[in-house]
Amino acid sequence: MELIATVTIWSMFACFLVFPKFGLPPVLHQTAMTLLSAELLALAMVSYGSGATAQVGRAAATYDIPLLSLGLVVLAIIRAVRHGVRR
């Protein structure tokens, strides 16, 4: 879980910084920051929660948020390639 969380946090922070430089719409880098915040919140739920709260946080930090982050990166790549082909 720690490796997945680390990769998600670093990649979403990098996306937040890099997306505006590539001219992608602001909604994409705002979504990256939202997913970063959600990952940190899910990890806080694992650390400070107990019982069901910790289980929900672990599931979100391990599966849900990383898959949404991957979808965001794929969407940004598709948009960048399609926009680059039009030029």
User: pLDDT of 55-85, one tens digit each?
Assistant: 999 999 999 999 999 999 999 999 988 887 5
Q: CA nearest 44: which of 9, 68, 14, 70?
A: 9
pLDDT at 87: 56
pTM of the predicted structure, to 2 decimals: 0.90
pLDDT at 6: 95
- Who contacts 21 (Cβ-Cβ below 8 Å, separation ≥6)? none
pLDDT at 1: 79
User: pLDDT of 1-56, one tens digit each?
Assistant: 789 999 999 999 999 999 999 889 999 999 999 999 999 999 999 999 999 999 99
What does the block give as tokens for 60? 């979100």
In the predicted model, what is the mean pLDDT of the chain? 92
Domain enclosing residue 71, as ranges = 2-86
CA 6 to chain centroid:
11
- Transcribe 18-80 into DSSP letters: HGGGGT--HHHHHHHHHHHHHHHHHHHHHHH--THHHHHHHHIIIIIHHHHHHHHHHHHHHHH
User: How many independent structural domains does the chain possess?
Assistant: 1
